[in-house]
Amino acid sequence: MVLVDIVYEGELHCRATHGPSGDVMNTDAPVDNKGKGEAFSPTDLVGTALGTCILTIMGIAAERHGLDMRGARASVEKTMVAHPVRRIGELRVAIHVPGKLDEASRKLLERAGLGCPVKASLASSVEVSVEFRWDA
């Protein structure tokens, strides 16, 4: 179990403290929803969680199999929808992996990344697409 302590600071800003590490992050509502967009919005964090989770799970698999994926990166495009309620409608993820990996290694890492717990936790009403780009 992990405890995250969150304080509402007013003006749509929150401060979250990660219990185990003491690390602190801030959120703000997005400009299109009455905020100033001065920090990640809560829904931005969902997209961030998805991208970092995919890379982390791929990294675990890479380490287990002696593969080097240092420098890999993810970009996540989040699209909001308004109906029937305001929510995340789509998350499009592009994973870029540098270096030369053979086809078997690529498939192993793709399988690992697609099995990330955040992706598995998202409701089926959120369309998630993941594209892997292998740089040679």
Which residues, at least 6 apart from 126, have a Cβ–Cβ distance to it below 8 Å?
87, 88, 89, 90, 91
- Measured between alpha carbons, how far is 49 from 119 in angstroms, rounded to an integer? 9
Taking CA 21 as the corner, what is the angle to CA 20 and CA 23, rounded to the nearest 5 degrees? 130
On whether both 54 and 105 belong to a single domain, the answer is yes
CATH number at residue 119: 3.30.300.20
pLDDT tens per residue across span 76-114: 999 999 989 999 999 999 999 998 999 999 999 999 999
Query: Based on the domain organization, do 27 and 52 belong to the same domain?
Result: no
Predicted TM-score (pTM) of the model is 0.94
Q: 53 and 112 share a domain?
A: yes
pLDDT at 135: 84
Beta carbons of 96 and 70 less than 8 angstroms apart = no
- Is the domain of 56 the same as that of 107? yes
- 24 with 55, same domain? no
pLDDT at 65: 97
Strand, coil or helix: what is 101? coil
- Residues 33-85: tens digit of each pLDDT: 999 999 999 999 999 999 999 999 999 999 999 999 999 999 999 999 998 99
Confidence band, pLDDT 50/70/90 cuts, at residue 28: very high
49 & 112 share domain: yes
User: For the CA atoms of 112, 22, 122, 96, what is the dihedral angle to 10 degrees?
Assistant: -40
* Residue 22, domain extent: 4-33
Residues 13 and 60 placed together within one structural domain of the fold: no
Angle between helix 103-114 and 42-64 (nearest 10): 140
How many domains are contained in the chain?
2
Whether 62 and 94 map to the same domain: the answer is: yes
Identify whether residues 67 and 9 lie together within a single domain.
no
Same domain, 98 and 73: yes
**Same-domain check for residues 95 and 58:** yes
Residues 16 and 63 in one domain: no
Q: Spell 28-47 as b/e; 16+ CB within 10 A means b.
A: bbbeeeebeeebbbebbebb
